[in-house]
Amino acid sequence: MVSQSQAHWPTVPISARDVDGPLFFTDDEWTLVRAATARIIPTDYDPGAAEADVVRFLDRFLSGDFVYASATGDGFLEIRGKEAEAWQARIRHRQSVYREGLAALKALSLDKYAKDFHELSDDEQDALLVETSGRPKPRHVQLHDDEIFNSGEGGPPPTNQPVSDAGLGFFDMLVAHTRQGFYADPVYGGNKNFVGWRVIGFDGPKSLADTVAGRYTTTDYMIMGATWPYPQSPRVQRFGR
């Protein structure tokens, strides 16, 4: 959603951000992030974070430029004034979290295995990420159709950003941003060729312009018949047709 103040910001063509290589990461950091995100959403019978180019999403996000895609989807709003100052303060904190976290992960890899992280086996990489997170590796989760999809239950859809990255440590921030990069609109640098959407069977809009103009709706993905507690909300959010 573009606010009234944002509507007056100039638009920067998407080509200004569509460059080869990193804008924020060093080459070594880019390689490390690509390997680490590939273990958070690994490639198996479906593409993972590597194929979705999640590292590019993260790099563009941390570069601190061009935060909001324009309504047409062919550029970014160049934020100014207080909004720009607030964003820069936010992004500087996240930049420092990544710089320190990546340096620590690299040092841990060299200390444990005398190799860089991307040179390790999957199991070795997982072991380092477990140590970095301070928690056990999550178990495999299996969704059962009868329990989940045919329950007839539902509720309000989540907000666009249900989990904030404010206050997160390096590993948790990396996981949150990996998910965002895998599923976000490709205009932000990740979800290359709509890989993330195709994995979950979501056709998605071809551009942000389709969503803004109302040419695209997620009605077909809602749980039909579910009770919606806010009758004043738009029809598409009430799980109805």
Strands of the 75-77 sheet, one edge to the other: 11-13, 75-77, 68-69
Residue 210 CA to residue 1 CA, distance in Å, equals: 14
d(CA 78, CA 68): 8
Q: Is the pTM of this model over 0.85?
A: no
The 8-class DSSP code of residue 49 comes to T
Could you give the C-alpha distances from 123 to 12, 102, 108, 141, in angstroms and in order?
A: 43, 19, 15, 19
- Give pLDDT < 70 ranges for the chain: 1-20, 65-66, 141-163, 222-241
pLDDT at 81: 82
Angle between helices 170-183 and 122-133 (to 10 degrees): 120
Q: What's the pLDDT at 15?
A: 57
Phi and psi dihedrals of 11, rounded to 5? -100, 130
Residue 1 has a pLDDT of: 42
Count CB neighbours of 69 within 10 A: 21
Tokens encoding 123: 């199991």
Identify whether the C-beta of residue 36 lies closer than 8 Å to the C-beta of residue 95.
no
